[in-house]
Amino acid sequence: MGKYFGTDGFRGEANVKLTVEHAFKVGRYLGWYYGRDHKAKIVIGKDTRRSSYMFEYALAAGITASGADAYLLHVTTTPSVSYVVRTEGFDCGIMISASHNPFYDNGIKVINGQGHKLEAEVEEKIEAYIDGKTEERPLATRENIGRTIDFAAGRNRYIGYLISLPTRSFKNIRVGLDCSNGSSSAIAKSVFDALGAKTYVINNEPDGTNINTNCGSTHIEVLQKFVKEQGLDVGFAYDGDADRCIAVDENGEVVDGDRILYVCGKYMMEQGALKDNTIVTTVMSNLGLYKACDQVGMRYEKTAVGDKYVYENMVKNGYQLGGEQSGHIIFSKHATTGDGILTSLKIMEVMLEKKASLGTLAGEVKIYPQLLQNLRVQDMDATLNHPDVQKAIKEVEERLGTEGRVLVRKSGTEPLLRVMVEALTDELCEESVLHIINAMKSV
């Protein structure tokens, strides 16, 4: 975790924490860094936030001032930038987005030439340059100044790639899409229409300030209501930059990332397409997912929270499927990042091949009630390791037995201890979390 770059790029309120000067310097450094021995090519995508245009121009100015060429995808999704970088020979890609955050926040995500998140050591060099701790980089002059090039064609190639993946038509299937007034507004409907679905779309009229506002994967109740009112077969909700997907079944029930992992993982296992019959999860995945996996013989890895860590585990071990409860799902055969639209296509594949509704497929997973509370403390290690706190955690674990789970961890960004409990009832979750929190407060 650096001064500016966190686990998902440089993010903050536009022109408060993240300014155009920051964006210009990021562009300046990347243009110089990748252009030391050749004419660098950097591709830029953005979501629908008001400030995304401002940052796009600042980044492009910095890149071209350093002598590299900036290619503009315009409004597009994070996974499309990753796809274009690795298939079109770009040195790196930049996505301007704060994902599921409110419209007044924004972010700069840098993707390396392999379509992965930028290496931490390069982020550290960018931070040092922003803070003036390294020498100024030379400005390009005369014919060496870079160009800005319209590259909307790259987005269209990504759309074509998505359309090429399903092996069956979606004809006559009634699909609801909640585009979160974000990046997927420019892509998702055209993909489902091309595949023959009867597509019903909501929240696909971005105005620069309505991204993620009471819509999308973080406000799934909107899609739940829409699916039930319209009598749809399935619904998919994306976040602002469309690297997440949360589904809704035909009954209006939520199918989150854990259930998606189970549905797709079980199907891939049956097809012999899941290495070592293993999916990759994070420590925040629900106990119900693990119990369902045990029932069908599907194995699982557990990583730290963050799709970055999920993907690192997948690459290291050659696993094909991993993700988070929040809907970041990675299909490594097709993508190097979470991809919301791709995830919805893979769910459709399982439904069509198994001739089963999503409610039937996901119904095998019983999601346990879960409660997460944070407590701000002076010294995280001292509090967490205090004998009274450890005793309280052990007492809760013994009480829950195999029908519950306790996870107490330190925040990576704030002086907070996070206490999460899963149990058979909401009441038991509340009692258990309170028991541990009270012990922490008393030390």
- 307 labelled binding-site residue: no
- Tens digits of per-residue pLDDT, 7-51? 788 999 999 999 999 999 999 999 999 999 999 999 999 999 999
pTM: 0.92
- Tens digits of per-residue pLDDT, 162-218? 999 999 999 999 999 999 999 999 899 999 999 999 999 999 999 999 999 999 999
- In three state form, how does the secondary structure of 89-121 look? CCCEEEEECCCCCCCCEEEEEEEECCCCECCHH
CB 236 within 8 A of CB 126: no
CB 411 within 8 A of CB 418: yes
Catalytic residue among 97, 99, 180, 183: 99
- Tens digits of per-residue pLDDT, 308-359? 899 999 999 999 999 999 999 999 999 999 999 999 999 999 999 999 999 9
Query: Which residue segments constitute the domains of the chain, with CATH numbers given?
Result: 5-153 (3.40.120.10), 165-362 (3.40.120.10), 370-442 (3.30.310.50)
How far is Cα 33 from Cα 434, in angstroms, rounded to an integer? 51
Tell me phi and psi for residue 187, to 5 degrees: -135, -50
3-state secondary structure of 293: helix
CB 1 within 8 A of CB 413: yes
Residue 412 has pLDDT above 80, yes or no: no
- Tens digits of per-residue pLDDT, 60-76? 999 999 999 999 999 99
CB 5 within 8 A of CB 127: yes
Check if 99 is active-site. yes
- 241 labelled binding-site residue: yes
